[in-house]
A = this chain, B = another copy of it.
C-alpha cells in the first residue's frame, strides 16, 4: 500500500505528509473492515452500516467500545476480522508494512522510515529497523506464551476448540490494549481468577508501556543505565498503578454493587484489575457503571492520561502527564530548568506536552458539548464515554449501546482522533509557517 502512495507521490498526483499517510492508512483499513463486517457471513443478525463502521473503527483504533455483542452477534468470521483489525491497529500499520518489506527483502527507504518514525513516535531514524524487529519478536513471543497460559486455563473449561479460540482472541485483544471480549460482561466471570487476572494485565501493561521501553530494558537491563524515558515510564507506571489500586479498593470496599460482597482476595484482584485497565486496556471484571461516582471520576483522569508513547495504548500518554507535573514543580521552585534523574527535560518537550494537553482538551470539550445536545444521558455518562473514546479505552458506563446515530458518528471520530493522536491530527490541519522576523518581547500578566 505504501508503494502505491509512493508511486502516486512520484507522479505528483497526491502528496501526503507522514502524519497524513498514517491517518489515511487507518482510514483505508476502517473502510475495508466495515465492508468485511457488513458481509452476511460476518454476523448472526442484522447489523447496520453504521454499526459495522463503529465496530471496525473500534477494533482498528484498539478502543473496544461496542454497539453490538461481539461474542453473540458476530460469527467466527466476523470475530476473526475484528481480531486482525486489532492486531493491525495495535502493532501499527506501518510496522506491518516494514515487516512485509523485510520479508520481501527490499531495502527500506527514507520515506518509509519517516512513516515508521511517526507511527512509533520516535525522534531519530537510526535504529528504527532494529526497533521494529525487536518489537515484532516481543509481540509474537508474548502473545504465544500468553496464548499457551490462557489455553491451559480455558481449554479444560470450554473444550479444545472454543478454549483455544477464546484464548487467542483475548490474548490479541489484551496485548494490543483493545479490550474486545467474546463475553458480554467482559472478564467479569473471572473477577477472582489469578491466572486470567495476571496474564491479561501482564499483556496489556506490557503492550501499553511502549516498545521503546521494552527495547531499552532488553538491551540494558540495569536501572541506572536506562534512558530517562524508560525510567519515567517504569516508575510512573508503578506509582500510578499502586495508588489507583489502593483508591479503588478503598472507594469500592463497601459498595455492594461492585466488590462489597466479594471475599477479601477477590476484592483485591478486582481493585487491581480496575486500577490498571483504565489507562487504555478497557477490559473490566466488575460493572463500571455500578462503581461510586468518586471512583468513576478518578477513572476519568486515568483514561485521559493513558498509556506510554509508541505503545498499543492512547491518551495524552503517561510521560506527557509526568513532564507537565515536573515542569510545574520546577516553576514553583523557581528553577529555570526541569531536571529529573540528573537529566534536563528540553523546553521543546514541555511545550509539546502543553500542546498535546491543550489540543486534547479542545477535542474533548467539543465532543462533550455536542453529545450533551444529541444524547439523552447523564452528564457523567457523556463525559465518561467521550474520554473513553479519546483514550481508546473502551470502558463504558453503558451509554455506547444507547448512542443515537449522530452520537455513534461522533464517538467514531473521537476514537480515530484518539488513536492517531490529537497532535498528529492538529499537525495535519495546521499549515507550518516559518518566520525569520524576530519581535520584541512584551509582558502578559497571567493568573
Contact = CB atoms under 8 A, between A and B. Distances in A.
Given A232-B444, A435-B339, A439-B344, A430 B378 contact: no
A239 to B, nearest CB: 16
A297 B431 CA distance: 31
Interface in A304-335: 309-310, 316-317, 319-320, 322-325, 327-329, 331-335
Contacts of A229: 442-445
Contacts of A342: 439
Contacts of A354: 324, 327-328, 331, 350, 354
Given A332-B355, A430-B333, A441 B319 contact: no
A323 B319 CA distance: 23
Contacts of A210: 445
A53 B352 CA distance: 43
A434 B334 contact: yes
Contact of A426 (B297, B332, B343, B441): B332
Contacts of A122: 445
Interface stretch (A30-38, A100-108, A278-286, A365-373): A365-373
Contacts of A310: 445
Given A297-B372, A368-B297, A380-B379, A227 B332 contact: no
Nearest to A379: B380
Interface string A261-294: 0000000000000000000000000000000111
A432 B332 CA distance: 7
A378 B293 CA distance: 9
17 contacts: A121-B447, A123-B443, A309-B447, A310-B445, A317-B445, A319-B444, A319-B445, A322-B444, A327-B355, A331-B355, A333-B431, A334-B434, A343-B439, A345-B441, A347-B347, A353-B447, A379-B383
Given A320-B446, A327-B354, A334-B434, 16 more contacts: A123-B443, A227-B443, A229-B445, A316-B447, A323-B444, A327-B358, A331-B351, A332-B355, A333-B431, A334-B433, A343-B442, A345-B442, A349-B443, A352-B446, A352-B447, A356-B447
